[in-house]
Amino acid sequence: MLHDGAHRADQHKDVSVPMSKIRMQDVATHAGVSVATVSRVINQKGNVSEETRTAVLAALDMLGYERPPRLSEASGTVGLLLPELTNPIFPVFYQELEREFTAAGYTTTLATQAPGALTEDEAVASLTAREVCGLVFVSGMHADSKASPERYVRLAERLPFVTINGANPRVPAPDFSTDDAESMRQAVRLLAGLGHSRIGLGIGQRRYIPGQRKEQGFGEAISQMLPGADVIVAETFFTAHGGARAAEALLARGCTAMVFGSDIMALGAIDALERRGVRVPEDVSIVGFDDSPLIRFMRPALTTLRQPVAAIAHAACATLRAAMEDFAPAQRTKAGPR
């Protein structure tokens, strides 16, 4: 039965937990730790792992506790540079990175590169003017194979940073990326196993390293698993509109299965196909990439390749923290490990 807004608000009010009733035991239960561990985190005494500290802080926030001021004292500020936030995977990266750095005692400041807004170079200048002690680039110009790496070479002389999604050997910094080629092999293996012999790939611009590696892995997989089959690739943009255009091009080439470089592309493809009367998955099978949070609620479900965002954020944070603690400009002359 549906109720009006006032009734729903009253219901919510009845089941909420008053602030005065929230106890340390509630925090411990919510975080899955002992009361003693909660006490150690709050009082900053004893050894507590970062993972446990994060769980306790999250429980405090979820239950409505105001953190003691000493827990909010920051060791410094880290700049996070992300693309536009309309693609749902990028807010997830931001959330996980912020969680990791906050748990480690740092604050974060965000800069985005939406079309028509600040360029990456302008964003870096703005962040460094705020005296950040480190930077994280997510899917930035480091992933553009045609962009000059000199900006990063110069930056490495004065500030530690790491990159995510776009391992570029010309950039002197550690990178954390999924294995794009292997992801495409997994997708082709799945679709070939379902009986598809004409599989297409929809990706963004080829100048970007993740797309290049996806195309490489896709081509290798087609050659190995479907000998003699055409390697069919549609190059557009990593957007819903780009996915729609790619789907139309792949459908015209006779593809009965399609793999896309992002979930947002896959959603655009499904919309374009259904507008043409093509049923998904009955007529065409679709595979996305990212496993964005809301994808699991699609009906029918979308098969997608998951980016391990939490693991990437954890590794990137740990590596940058070590670099910030040990930073010596003279040592930042060679590309770091991937």
DSSP string, 78-114: EEEEE--S-STHHHHHHHHHHHHHHHTT-EEEEEE--
pLDDT in tens, 163-209: 999 999 999 999 999 999 999 999 999 999 999 999 999 999 999 99
Is 287 in a helix, a strand, or coil?
A: strand
pTM: 0.78
Burial of 210 per CB tally in 10 Å (0-12, 13-18, 19+): buried
Is 235 in a helix, a strand, or coil?
A: strand
pLDDT in tens, 102-147: 888 899 999 998 777 789 999 999 999 888 999 999 999 999 999 9
218 versus 27: which is more confidently predicted? 218
8 versus 259: which is more confidently predicted? 259
Q: Are 81 and 127 in contact (CB under 8 A)?
A: yes
pLDDT in tens, 30-68: 888 888 887 777 776 777 787 787 788 777 777 777 766
Measured between alpha carbons, how far is 96 from 198 in angstroms, rounded to an integer?
Answer: 38
Average pLDDT over residues 82-109: 91
pLDDT in tens, 220-276: 999 999 999 999 999 999 999 999 999 999 999 999 999 999 999 999 999 999 999
How high is the mean pLDDT of the chain?
Answer: 86
